[in-house]
Structure 1
Amino acid sequence: MPITESHPHPHAGSASGPEIPGPAGLPVLGSMLDLRRDSLGAFLHAHREHGDVVRLQAGPPGLRSVFHAVFSPQGVQQILASEAANFRKDHPLYEEVRQSFGNGLLTSQDADYLRQRRLVQPLFTKRRVDGYAAAVTTEAGVIAERWRTADDTTVDLVSEMNRFALRTVSRILFGTDVEAAVDVIHRCAPVINDYVVRRAYVPLKVPREWPTPGNRRAREATAEVTAVCDRIIAERRAAVGTVNSGERERGRPRSADDLLSLLAAAGNEEDGSLDATEVREQVLIFLLAGHETTAISLAFTLHLLARHPEEQARVRAEIDRVLAGGTPTAADLDRLPCVTRALKEAMRLYPPAPVVSRRAVAATEIGGFRIPAGADVVVAPWVTHRAPQLWEDPERFDPDRFTPEREAGRHRYAWFPFGGGPRACIGQHFSMLESVLALATLLRAYELEAVDEEVPVSAGITLQATGPARVRLRPRSL
């Protein structure tokens, strides 16, 4: 993530508390170049040198951005949970996401958010999500079979898991219409995401309406994604309306089980229902944000296990014992603790959302420092998950950090890949279910040997692998 734009404001001075420490940076540009080159590394360095609350500034005078990074679990809890109402999604990144994807659950606020959450929450109950397990294992089985018949025994987990996660969420959203959406989104999503991030972190924005090459590419990609979603949504709303009005044909049930049909039918007396635009906005967020977070978690879990054969063997022994050659189901989730611990440890080292932004409404004290009203504030799982005072030998891959006893001994916000508080990820259980079942399916079928030891990453809307995570496949006899 590059720099955060905000209106300049004075930093905390001695009259209102101690001055917030931070890197001086260059005389004219401050920390801009460090943040643009490697924002995750810059945040780690800032924490190591200046502590749990850090003030950063970037950019030339007149266009300078000032923001505050908070790294302690206690500070993270204030921002995301106990004082969440004071830290809003008024950050430029969220505004750009709204402009491109609409005002869905990721970006909406206040009454809009509460209404959407009430309407959508019943679709993400544990019972409902567990019903998606068969779609997950079907798509994981397709991947496993394709690998078995491929000529090349080396695959890039980044691209493979991205495709798998996109196909899975598309199948759950659209049912049998999965193929209509996958190719378009796979091709267009990177264009839209790059555009959103680039616009969010430049001091001066070119109006979206101007016919620049970047604007045109993003507009065409957005129009293509919107068109395919609108077509599928219109067909599904018509089908749901026909079936629910009593015109049942050939024994068809009252409504389909795919998430789109459930969204189209969602409603209650207090909140009404989602109109066509609102349904599309939720679908776009689920598609474009939901699949990327799960894909990155799966890719890095598999790659870390490939780099640590002893942990891979332990995980596979559990899978063989629990599944006994069968297909995993939702009921197996609690019976695969080694798989879950490996996943959680991978999400510690490679959190899908490495930096989370907010804007303070009122001045707030965090960690003994005064955060000014109007300040842009970030919390960074990438940094907190690596804090040596919280995690012994933090760069080491050690799934046993997540045994129940060791989890109980840690602060709730020492590990927060799904955020927390009232804006915690609504799809947390689905992501864990999808990831554990996919890992069990693939590791039952293959042994993995790492080809690339390290995978470079950067921060965008989600964590981005900027290089391959290749592994060599050894099929197992089933």
Structure 2
Amino acid sequence: MTVARTRPGSSTAPTPTGHPLLGSALDLRRDPLGTFVRAQREYGDVVRMTAGPPGLRAVMYCVFSPEGAQQVLAAQATNFRKDNVFYEEIRQTGGNGLLTSQDDVYLRQRRLIQPLFTKKRVDGYAATITGEAEATAERWRNRPEVDVVREMDRLALRTVSRVLFGADVETAVDVIHANFPVISAYITQRAYSPLRLPRTWPTPANRRAEAATRAVYEVCDRIIAARREEGGDTGEAGDDLLSLLSRASNEEDGSLDATELRDQVLVFLLAGHETTATSLAFALHLLARHPEARARAQEEIDALPSGQPYTAATPDHLPYLTRVLKETMRLYPAAPLVGRRAVEETEIDGHVIPAGADVLVAPWVTHRHPAHWTDPDRFDPDRFTPDQETARHRYAWLPFGGGPRACIGRHFSMLESVLALAVLLREYDIETPDVDIPVTSAVTLQAVGEARVRVKARAHIH
């Protein structure tokens, strides 16, 4: 492993004063994302933050610049590993799938799964995506308003479940919808707690999480077993993602066993629905707050050929709507904080990062970096015209991460989001009061409470 060693003149990263005993713990508990933004504004692009009482104090090095993010995620990716508490908690609950695995295990999984996420394969899911979006639009008939947080969570979960499980979607959706929030809250609480009780202790939190995890495991295992039985000895089955995963194999890597299959399914369910749901909900919220942007997007949608179904080629004809989505993902990145642990001492932006240090890349902050974004809190889809995108540092916008661990589902998420937005905006005008929706960081970005939007069927639609 080649690591950029520290140079003469490199310095210790500045540390906010915080509370004499607890450091920044209280600020991070009250408003974690705002605390990180303020840290960048006041102290710079690498900040050492402490949280917790002496003896239980957590120390993390926060990296806010695009250059620093590129160093951690790409240029020195082998020196920054998923060895921190957060990923270990995900492993303990959701298995060792593509999100959490490392080294040879990760490479083997990636080689087996990558062919399932080619552009051609993902484009084949366009009809499924559109069908679920149209079912959502139909559910909104005669409803004066909807909570887009809840509605988009349901839509994204049904879509990824349909792509994963095919006809078995109804079996899975209700169980996952009921239990994933319990699992996500449990992982987050343990990851950020200075004192973690053993999972085997029969505390109320442990018992709730165990029951929720068991319910999700059982429904996944049942569907996997049934799918393998359907395929029989011939390996013949459907084209849903689970069938393809079941048949994935090569001479070098073999195939995925039942446990590995379940681990990957859980990753796709978690990463493939919560992240896209976040993007969709906030895109609708922002468009409802900005009627001129909504009208411009609808004008583009209305120009599509009348009566023809949307396909994987449709987003090519919706450049403004795509820019709306990208700007939404800038302001509300589904993964606002990305953790790693340094193996060897190195240097980022002139500051020493010690061996063994917890390192936090913060897309939430990088996406608001005043050196790279003018008036960064303003919603402006035209930041993503081709010329502007080319002129910016490639890691100034990183909703899908970057480097060798960049999100394998990027194309699927973009395709799903643009097509779903196109269907809903084709059918409805939307409005909402011009207020921000409070958010917090859990496994993914979470809205605090509802985001209600008034919906009105459009008079002239195709």
- Whether the TM-score (by the shorter chain) exceeds 0.5 is yes
Match of 1:473 in 2: 455
Deviation at 1:243, TM superposition (A): 4.4
1:238 to 202, 223, 229: 229
Match of 1:124 in 2: 117
Match of 1:163 in 2: 154
Deviation at 1:452, TM superposition (A): 6.3
Deviation at 1:323, TM superposition (A): 4.0
Per the normalisation by structure 1, the TM-score is 0.94
Measured in 2, the distance between the counterparts of 1:309 and 1:16 equals 52
Q: Counterpart of 2:372 in structure 1: which amino acid?
A: L
Deviation at 1:242, TM superposition (A): 4.3
- Counterpart secondary structure, 1:322: coil
Deviations 1:444-473 (A, max 9, x none): 000101146221000011000002111111
Tell whether 2:10 aligns with 1:26.
no
Match of 1:102 in 2: 95
Within 5 Å, give how 1:73-472 maps onto structure 2: 73-148=66-141, 150=142, 152-244=143-235, 254-451=236-433, 453-472=435-454
Q: Counterpart of 1:312 in structure 2: which amino acid?
A: R
| Identity within the alignment, % | 66
- Counterpart secondary structure, 2:304: helix
- Counterpart secondary structure, 1:359: strand
Measured in 2, the distance between the counterparts of 1:438 and 1:239 equals 31
Measured in 1, the distance between the counterparts of 2:125 and 2:226 equals 22
Contact 1:82 1:421 (8 Å CA) reproduced: yes
Deviation at 1:25, TM superposition (A): 0.6
Q: Alpha carbon RMSD of aligned pairs, Å?
A: 1.4
Deviations 1:410-465 (A, max 9, x none): 00000000000000000000000000000001100001011462210000110000
Number of positions where the alignment pairs a residue of Structure 1 with one of Structure 2: 456
- Counterpart secondary structure, 2:198: coil
Deviation at 1:17, TM superposition (A): 2.9
Deviation at 1:238, TM superposition (A): 1.2
- Counterpart secondary structure, 1:240: helix
Q: Which runs of 5 or more residues in structure 1 are unaligned?
A: 1-11, 245-253
Per the normalisation by structure 2, the TM-score is 0.97
Contact 2:298 2:426 (8 Å CA) reproduced: yes
Match of 1:250 in 2: none
Q: Counterpart of 1:183 in structure 2: which amino acid?
A: D
- Counterpart secondary structure, 1:56: strand
Deviations 1:321-371 (A, max 9, x none): 024343311011211111100000000000000000000001111101111
Deviation at 1:16, TM superposition (A): 6.9
Contact 2:227 2:237 (8 Å CA) reproduced: no
Measured in 1, the distance between the counterparts of 2:175 and 2:380 equals 38
Q: Counterpart of 2:226 in structure 1: which amino acid?
A: E
Deviation at 1:241, TM superposition (A): 2.5
